[in-house]
Amino acid sequence: MNDTVSNNLQKVRKRIELASTAAGRASDAVKLLAVSKTMPAQAVREAHAAGQLAFGENYIQEGVDKIASLADLPLEWHCIGPIQSNKSKLVAENFAWVHSIDRLKIAERLSAQRPAHLPPLQVCLQVNVDGGNNKSGVAPQELLALAQAVAKLPHLQLRGLMTIPEPAANELAARTVHRQAKELFGSLNAAGVKLDTLSMGMTADLEAAIAEGSTCVRVGTAIFGVRS
Ligand X SMILES: *Cc1c(COP(=O)(O)O)cnc(C)c1O
Residues forming contacts to ligand X in the complex (CB under 6 A) are: 35, 37, 58, 80, 164, 202-204, 218-222
What is the DSSP pairing of strand 76-79 with strand 216-219?
unpaired
C-beta closer to ligand X: residue 152 or 227? 227
Q: 3-state SS string over 35-62?
A: ECCCCCHHHHHHHHHCCCCEEEECCHHH
Comparing CB distances to ligand X, the nearer of 55 and 185 is 55
The residue among 186, 190, 168 whose CA lies nearest residue 177 is: 168
- Chain residue at closest Cβ approach to ligand X: 220
Secondary structure of residue 127 in the 3-state scheme: strand
Question: Nearest Cα to 205, choosing from 138, 129, 103?
Answer: 129
- The nearest distance, CB 170 to ligand X, in angstroms, is 17
Contact 80, 56 (CB under 8 A): yes
CB nearer to ligand X: pick between 146 and 162: 162
CB 152 to ligand X: min, Å: 26
> Least distance (Å) from ligand X to the CB of residue 143?
18
CB of 83 vs ligand X, minimal distance in Å: 12
Nearer to ligand X, 75 or 164 (CB): 164
